[in-house]
Amino acid sequence: MLNILAVRLKEMREVRGLTLKQLAIKAHVAVDPLTDFESGKRIPKLEQISKIKKALGVSCCYLVGKTDNHTEIIDISAEFEGFHIHGYQELTEDEINEIRLMASDTHHYLHWYEAMTNQDPIFIED
């Protein structure tokens, strides 16, 4: 069964002119899982989607259908109760904003993952 992530992964890989093997090399993810992700047979873990989105130059917000802009991240960091960046005093405002956007993008993916799998996301692969 195809899901939005499967459709958009394949679409963006093709837009970037990459074969599955080329994306696998660029993202440091094996070809077989990529094939399964594009066919909707499997849902990528957070570690895998982080590598794939970086290799494709897209956001998780785009991959899970929160936006149609390839790179847009919908900032919801204001909704994070007690959101605190350790050592923030040493960071520039731009660095703090980048961290907030990364957290927001990750949150959108984890929320989608949980809805698709009915499981809590697994953060560390064994």
Give the pair of three-digit tokens for residue 102. 């990364």
pLDDT at residue 121 in the model: 64
For the chain, give every domain's residue range.
Answer: 4-117
pTM of the model: 0.83
pLDDT digits (tens, 9 = 90+) for 50-88: 999 999 999 999 999 999 999 999 998 887 766 666 777
pLDDT digits (tens, 9 = 90+) for 25-55: 999 999 999 999 999 999 999 999 999 999 9
Instruction: Tell me the pLDDT band of 1, cut-offs 50, 70 and 90.
Output: low
CA distances from 66 to 63, 69, 88, 118 (A): 8, 9, 28, 19
Domain 4-117 part of CATH 3.40.50.720: no
Amino acid identity of residue 46, one-letter, is L
pLDDT at residue 2 in the model: 81
pLDDT at residue 124 in the model: 45
